[in-house]
Amino acid sequence: MDTGAAPTGAARDERVAGPPRRAVVFLSALLVGLSALSLYSYPLFHTVVEGISIVIAASLFLVLFHTRRLHENDYLLFVGISLLFFTFLDIPHALGFRGVNLFGGFGDDLPTQAFMIQRLLLSATFLLAPLFLTRRLWVRSTFLAFGVLVGLAVLSLFVWRNFPVMFAEGTGLTPLKRNLEVVISAMFVLGGIGLVVNRRFFDPVVLRQILASIACFIGSEISFMLYASPFGYTNLAGHLFQVSAFFFMYRAVLVTALVNPFSLLFRELSAREQSLTAANESLNALADISGTAISTLDLEELAPALLRRLCAVMGADAAALLLVQDGFVRVAATVGFDNDPIGVRMGRGFAGTIAETRRRRYVADIQTDESILSVPLREQGIRSVLGVPMEVGDKLIGVLHVDWRSYHPYDERDVQLLEIVADRVALAVRNAQLYEGKRRIAQIFQESLLSLPEHIDGVRYARTYRSATEEAVVGGDFFDLFPVDAERVGVVIGDVSGKGVEAAVLTSLVKDTIRAHAHEGGTPATVMGMTNTLVEHYSGPETFVTVFFGLIDRGSATLTYCNAGHPPPVALRCGGALSLLGPNSPLVGAFPDLAFADSQVRLELGDTLFLYTDGVIEARAGGELYGEQRLLAALLGLAECDPEAAVETVFNDLMRFSAGTLSDDLAILSLKVVAR
């Protein structure tokens, strides 16, 4: 419900005139028919009246609950939830009435007690409902609260039997019952006053229907306050008032909500549609930014540009985007401020209030409005402020607000435009946050796969790693260097097929398996065989690993290695000669029960071992590969066998060749055996 634009023309004339004639005729005929039925059988009359009340109350709940996302406020939703629990209490009232009395041993007091509980519930509901014109209703908590109250009431009636007497046989209504009727009537009156005070939130026709319903409830309370017999005329009048009350509530909710949803109860939807039509030019101006907001993952790049364009379109002087974090609303980006406003706690200040209530808010003059304590905005000379929450589903992302340093009147079109932008920005921010979280995890994972000890006795080394694309943070390339015992050092380089987290998990498995079995004293071929069994068991048939694993024995100056389909490392001799350590074994993980072999070469003091993944030799310039020959030529040109120089020379050479563009990730590890 919203103030909206008033209807015009014939529709306006028809609605101002009051309920359609057919509705008046129907209600009159219904009341006459029910009165006639009471002459035939009052218990049957009573059962029919309560049945009508139960059906209408349950129907109102269903409609209001399932259309709750269309409501501008939660007034009617709160009433609808109360009506659901009204039906639970009206059943024992109807079935315990004299002449029906399905509850043996309770007498006439049970239906009276149940009636008083339901009326206390209804009157309190109408008294409190105006609060939810400006506050958010926590639906689950409301259901729980009503459920607890009604549950305790039912236990009091049927189990504990300690509810106060309301109707005594022979004497009639008790003084407590009459006094409670006065209290209930007063709460209905106050609820009606609350409606009138907040009438700007209601369509005039809907307001009159609800006020008529409350008036009928008050009439029924007065009638029920006076009767001496459950079959008396005042009891009859009270039930006819009750039927009328539910009829008017039915008119206010069911007919207006379902037959005329745009022009009546949910008129804000029509207003939004009209605002969207009027805002086409502004939306077109923001279309490119909205597209960017959905597609980009770089919030730092997106937010300032979006805020600048937003200010230009809305004629605002400043704007701010704030994100929710740890109970605070923190500034992510601003434009138009000399100093960025500080973040605020949820519920504090302008942005904090929007975040807590999750409702849009407009302040015409923040300099004088005492309801908002927002010192930073006042210090910046801001006067008018418009802000909306940013949400993705049920998750609150943050707040977006635009600001003017001179008075800016409220404009529904501004609100609609800002809400559309907020939806797009919220989605972009959420995607960016998810991406950043995954990227950080992937980066830590990748660093762990490429981490090497700071120092190993008898070995100098250098290494580098480069991803082919910035997005592919985790690849399948890896290397490792670790002491096995006092004399031997293990060296590993490999490449797992595939990319992303799955490839990284397999990479970690291969790396850790090689390390673990190397310390058990096995040869490289033995270790590779056990690694093959593990990879083949835990990965699919399309997954394989090329890996080189060698053991450098510094005492005997030998390198024992198993090269399972990996590009051949290069041994650079002190005298300038080069030798390739080509594959001697099949790919790891391709098939079960493969045979792996060991080979052995000497590595004298000063010799350098250069290991790399296929991203090096497969770097491209157009259709031409960098290749093995260019790699060997770059290594031959080195003045000395230095690991750092070897890594730097080859990497710079292939980056010049490929103009800085890589077609695959690459990893390089170069090590030199030195005296200890």
Mean pLDDT over all residues of the chain? Answer: 82
CB 608 within 8 A of CB 672: yes
In what side-by-side order are the strands of the sheet with 545-553? 477-483, 488-496, 545-553, 558-564, 599-602
Please tell me the distance from the alpha carbon of residue 36 to that of residue 53, in angstroms, as a whole number. 18
pLDDT class for 469, splitting at 50, 70, 90? low
Give the chain's count of helices (H) and strands (E): 21, 20
For the record, the structure tokens of 384 come out as 């008018």
Q: How far is CA 475 from CA 466, 506, 563, 671, in A?
A: 10, 11, 21, 23
Task: Using CA atoms of 207, 213, 217, 222 in order, give the dihedral in degrees to the nearest 10.
Answer: 80
Superfamily of domain 451-673: PPM-type phosphatase domain (3.60.40.10)
CB 262 within 8 A of CB 393: no
Instruction: Tell me which of 150-159, 397-406, 464-473, 536-545 is least confident.
Output: 464-473
Provide the CATH number for the domain formed by 279-440 in this structure.
3.30.450.40
DSSP letters, 11-71, are HHHHHHT-S-HHHHHHHHHHHHHHHHHHHH-HHHHHHHHHHHHHHHHHHHHHHHHHTGGG-
The radius of gyration of the chain's CA atoms, rounded to the nearest angstrom, is 39
Helix axes 175-197, 109-128, angle to 10 degrees: 20
Burial category of 295 from C-beta neighbours within 10 Å (exposed 0-12, middle 13-18, buried 19 and up): exposed
Q: What is the pLDDT of residues 282-316, one digit of tens each?
A: 556 556 555 555 555 566 777 787 888 888 888 89
Q: What is the pTM of this model?
A: 0.44
Pick the CATH number of 41-273 from 1.20.1250, 1.10.760, 2.40.50, 1.20.1070: 1.20.1070
pLDDT of res. 364? 87
pLDDT class for 417, splitting at 50, 70, 90? confident
CB 299 within 8 A of CB 293: no
Of the candidates 159, 411, 421, 167, the one whose C-alpha atom is nearest the C-alpha of residue 285 is 421
Q: How far is CA 163 from the centre of its chain?
A: 45
**3 state DSSP class of 605:** coil
Q: What is the pLDDT of residues 611-620, one digit of tens each?
A: 999 999 999 9
Please tell me the distance from the alpha carbon of residue 97 to that of residue 152, in angstroms, as a whole number. 21
Domain boundary assignment for the chain: 41-273, 279-440, 451-673
